[in-house]
Amino acid sequence: MSRRYRSAAGYPAAVSATGAGRLVLVRHAMPELDPAVPSTWRRLGEAGRAAARALRPLLPGSAYHVASDEPKAVQTLRELAGHHDVATDPGFAEVHHRYVWAADHGYRALAYAYLEGVCHEGWEPHALVAARFDAAVVRHAAAAGDRMLVVGTHGLAPTVWLASRMRVEPSPARFWAALRWPELIDVALTAGTASRRGT
């Protein structure tokens, strides 16, 4: 994965002049795991919905909410927001890759290596992930106006995007490995920083 960091200066004025200068990424809550159900179709159980609702007091009710089009990301933001007025955008979807049973330790090893720069056969190239995520941020920054932009997403894709924009500490792979279900990540584009809420 390329480590060419960029500043917020490359963004359109709509991004730097609105709430998207600071945005919050939300890693979805833990879905119900079933090896027969592909990860892109998994949904939250009651425990996952409760975990997402617990984050509601941490974000303003006036925020603009947009999520990946995967059910678990949409459900997480709906629970967090307390309503169903959540836009969706496939630009925020997880890295596309061959189906791997996510409860298998082998998947975590593949994901870790991917974030260290290895592009496995059948996995979406890092540059394409960063470009589509970047474009989605720009689109929804304009829609958010002066409201906080809250993006419901996943683990790998936002980490790839962050690493394309700024230095991710201690490393992209270790940052991803420490993410919780769910997780709030505060991003300051102009300052070039990203931090997990509460750490």
Domains of the chain: 8-196 (3.40.50.1240)
Beta bridge partners of 195: 186
Percent of the chain with pLDDT strictly greater than 90: 70
Of how many residues is the chain composed? 199
Above 80 in pLDDT, residue 66?
A: yes
Rounded Cα distance between 3 and 162, Å, is: 10
Residue 186 in 3-state DSSP?
A: strand
Above 90 in pLDDT, residue 183?
A: yes
Q: What is the model's pLDDT at position 197? A: 93
Beta carbons within 10 angstroms of residue 142's beta carbon: 14
Above 60 in pLDDT, residue 2?
A: no
Question: pLDDT digit string (tens) for 112-124?
Answer: 999 999 999 999 9
Question: pLDDT digit string (tens) for 3-29?
Answer: 555 667 677 766 776 666 789 999 999
pTM: 0.92
Rounded Cα distance between 21 and 74, Å, is: 23
List helix spans (H) across 13-125: 13-16, 46-53, 71-81, 105-115
Q: What is the model's pLDDT at position 20? A: 60
Most confident of 45-54, 76-85, 96-105, 142-151: 45-54
Q: What is the model's pLDDT at position 198? A: 79
Residue 66 in 3-state DSSP?
A: strand
Rounded Cα distance between 73 and 192, Å, is: 25
